[in-house]
Chains A and B, each alone.
Chain A
Amino acid sequence: MSERSSKIPLLEVRGLKQYFEIDRTHTVKAVDDVSFTVEKGTTFGLVGESGSGKSTIGRSVIRLYNPTAGEIYLGGREISGKLTAEKKHYLTTKMQMIFQDPMASLNPRKKVIDIVAEGLDANHLYKDKKEREEKVYAILERVGLNHEQANRYPHMFSGGQRQRIGIARAMIMEPEIIIADECISALDVSIQAQVVNIMKELQEERGLTYVFIAHDLAMVKYISDYIGVIHLGHFVEMGRKEEIFDHPVHPYTKSLLSAIPEPNPLTEPGRKSVTYDKNAEGVDYTKGKKNYLTETHMVLATEEELAQWNA
């Protein structure tokens, strides 16, 4: 994922900007000049403050939004720009997204079997009804749901079950890359483990690539190879997971790591985390530049800031 890598990355995002106009006087710069690359067969963890632009990056990359600026390449082919029918087909067969808000992304009037088969239907990916059904049942089973549940409607499911419907819908397409937006947060820890194990299996079997967006840093650390820390639409730090967890430099990364709640009722009650206030510390993200501490470890900072944080 380093910008100097010589291999062609599976996903490359260059200078992505996504602005939203709220009204004539307000524009939200949800994503502001973001670049990153993801190598085939690896997992890129995206962590950061709520509202910092993680979901928007995912939605722009998969072209649910029309990016304000920037270029996006998938397998060396440009997928930004005008969305032709051919590009669209290429996109949906190669890339899938698991959405953060399960209920909002599932059609309430459709049965689960039809929701999960949506992508198969749209791209004619089966011979007959039987094969369609078999494919759906197989994937449901893999995510821990049973056949009987295939004929129910989304509102009849618990939060975690709905989340798994979303996972099944993405995985059934056998894409090359999945953008998983908070895809395990509503699951109990055992099913989380099960889903993460499936994700790893598929990665080993088929070289699947993930962009894994999550707030659970223990899980992000476990599953990711590289991690990007995003704050207010900017990557403030990026690197191999060891670099981020063992040698964090940016104060936002540090505050994030200090706030992870430990599953220990002896030490956790009353423990306070390190707070970080960008304005109080006078940090201006538009002034900082990308500093590479190693081939892979990037920190956004001015020279003075970097000296101060490293001290």
Chain B
Amino acid sequence: MEGLKEKEVVLDVKDVSVSFKTNVGTLNAIRGVNFTLHRGETVAIVGESGSGKSVTVKAVMGIKSANEKINTGEILYTYEENGEKRTVDLLKFSRKEMVEKYNGKHIAMVFQDPMTALNPLLTIGYQLTEGMMKHLHLEKKEAWARGEELLAEVGIPNPKLTMKNYPHQLSGGMRQRVVIAIAISCDPDVLICDEPTTALDVTIQAKILELIQDMQKKRNISVIYITHDLGVVAKVADYVAVMYAGKIVERGTAYELYFQPRHPYTWGLLLAMPDLNTTEDRLYAIPGTPPNLLKKIIGDAFAPRNAFALNIDFEEEPPVYKLSETHEVSSWLEHPDAPKVEMPEALVRRIARMTGTAKQKGGLANE
């Protein structure tokens, strides 16, 4: 890591909490999320399904459901305009202001469910060129040509034909690539990718990840990457944030998270991931079910599923402990008076295997 160079904060997400009104009560989806994104870097958000990853990044985009309420927090975005630096709180803007001014051009997002991001009644070409004509002021013909180029860049085999297609005529992975092409079409500062490659085969996935990394190098854009694929995280992330039940329970560099994980939920995640050598009869799954967010959560939300839970875990929310400049964990196990708990044996072995392979392959790329 560079370390010394002063890093520029692009996005500072501070204590954001969000709830939804439902017919069965109020659901507290996000309960105080904090993270920062630096210029040119990638933060990956991983974690439980339903833990609030998509809701968090949609808040950055200014996308809210009708029954959604942002209770606290600010999302500070710093950018340059006419040679001047400005910092604004994105949560202060209306949806309309976000669309007019920030979405697409400054902050763009690749949505998890490509079908909901695309209009079924409009051709791919129309949807891909719309933003470029509006934000980059391209003529229709230029935008169309650029659109074809973008489709080729994301690996669509027949861009000319695809421009004329409607979304339902494309395969899942082709739709996903169209959405990626739309997101990068207006040269954003911040690119948010919510499960951008889940519907892609690994060769195309590799290509897309390389494309995003290239853009990142060339244009110094910052990326937030949500994925369940810990292989992808290992490939792209500078920092990783682990979410559980509406909170970030641990964050750190990719190295810290994979090799020195501290939160028992992170341990569970790492253990549950199969690799090509897995042959056990059953895969490890974290026991129990995630908490019901309709109820008030007391203590550490993970406690009921945590074999290492202390009494206090059921009573009081753990504070955030800083383990290094970059590594933070919210767990009572870090309290000086807590009993010393070792990570599970299986995980120790797995980590040893990972460092082992790394040494064999000629050294550590990332320390």
Chain A interface (Cβ within 8 Å of chain B)?
20, 22, 26, 28, 47-52, 55-56, 100-104, 144, 146, 148, 151-152, 155-161, 182, 185-194, 196-197, 200, 215-219, 221-222, 245, 255-256, 259-273, 275-276
Contact = CB atoms under 8 A, between A and B. Distances in A.
14 contacts: A22-B161, A51-B174, A55-B171, A182-B172, A190-B48, A217-B276, A261-B232, A261-B235, A262-B275, A263-B273, A265-B237, A267-B365, A269-B236, A273-B203
B231 A261 contact: yes
Contact of A146 (B174, B198, B282, B289): B289
Contacts of A152: 22-24
Contacts of A56: 171
Given A191-B285, A266-B367, 5 more contacts: A104-B116, A158-B54, A186-B198, A265-B258, A276-B203
B326 interface: no
B277 to A, nearest CB: 9
Interface of B: 20, 22-24, 46-51, 53-54, 65, 112-116, 157, 161, 165, 169-174, 176-177, 195, 198-206, 210, 228-237, 254-255, 258-259, 268-269, 272-276, 278-279, 281-286, 289-290, 292, 294, 354-355, 357-358, 361, 364-367
B65 A155 contact: yes
Contacts of A245: 276
Nearest to A105: B115
Contacts of A103: 113, 115-116
A264 B292 contact: no
A260 B209 CA distance: 12
A189 B228 contact: yes
B212 to A, nearest CB: 13
Contacts of A275: 203
Contact of A188 (B49, B237, B283): B49
A151 B48 CA distance: 22
Contacts of B113: 101-104, 159
Contacts of A101: 113-115, 172
B286 to A, nearest CB: 4
Contacts of A255: 203
B49 A159 contact: yes
Contacts of A49: 201, 203-204
A128 to B, nearest CB: 24
A100 B161 contact: no
A182 B275 contact: no
B255 A260 contact: no
Top-3 shortest CB links A-B:
A50-B173, A160-B49, A261-B231
B49 A161 contact: yes
Q: Which of A22, A48, A49, A271 lies at the interface centre, i.e. has the most chain B CB atoms within 10 A of its CB?
A: A49
A190 B268 contact: yes
A268 B357 CA distance: 11
A198 B255 CA distance: 33
Given A48-B201, A49-B201, A263-B234, A146 B285 contact: no
B261 to A, nearest CB: 12
B230 A218 contact: no
A189 B355 CA distance: 22
A256 B216 CA distance: 25
Given A20-B169, A101-B115, A197-B282, A259 B202 contact: yes
A259 B205 contact: yes
A262 B254 CA distance: 13
A197 B283 contact: yes
Nearest to A159: B112
A304 B238 CA distance: 46
B172 A55 contact: yes
A264 B235 CA distance: 8
Contacts of B48: 188, 190-191
B43 to A, nearest CB: 14
Contact of A265 (B206, B254, B357): B254
Contacts of A161: 49-50
A39 B363 CA distance: 46
